[in-house]
Amino acid sequence: MDKNSLIQARTCVYNVNYHIVWSVKYRKPILNEDIQEFLKDQFVRIGKEKGFSIAAMELMADHVHVFASAHPQVAPSYIVKMLKGISARRTLMQFPHLAQQLCKGHLWNSSFYIETIGSISEDAIKKYIEHQKTRG
């Protein structure tokens, strides 16, 4: 495990990361460069406000990829809810013309994809666990 990715908190040491992907409602390609830059700033702000960090992100015209890191007490569903909910409200306030292009003014599709990301592979963890009894 890469020791540089470990975070020390008061009661634990952790490396908890998520790859999160979601799309614009009906995959409408409405996220132009100005909106993308605004959203990138908002995602970082939301993370700071809500207790998680954004390590990387990429926005396309119709969907978003975020690499987030959080303390184990922060639920992955909370991260998604905060990112999507707050960013949608702020974006529609900043770019009111978007609401006309969206069904009922909803910016994001209600579904999302999330995957946990660690610094070692799933196979390496399985082998490590399987060999614990053979270690002295």
- Positive or negative: CA dihedral 109, 110, 111, 112: positive
Whether 128 sits among the annotated catalytic residues: the reply is yes
CA 17 → CA 52, 61, 92, 103, 115, distances in Å?
A: 10, 25, 28, 32, 8
Annotated catalytic residues are: 128
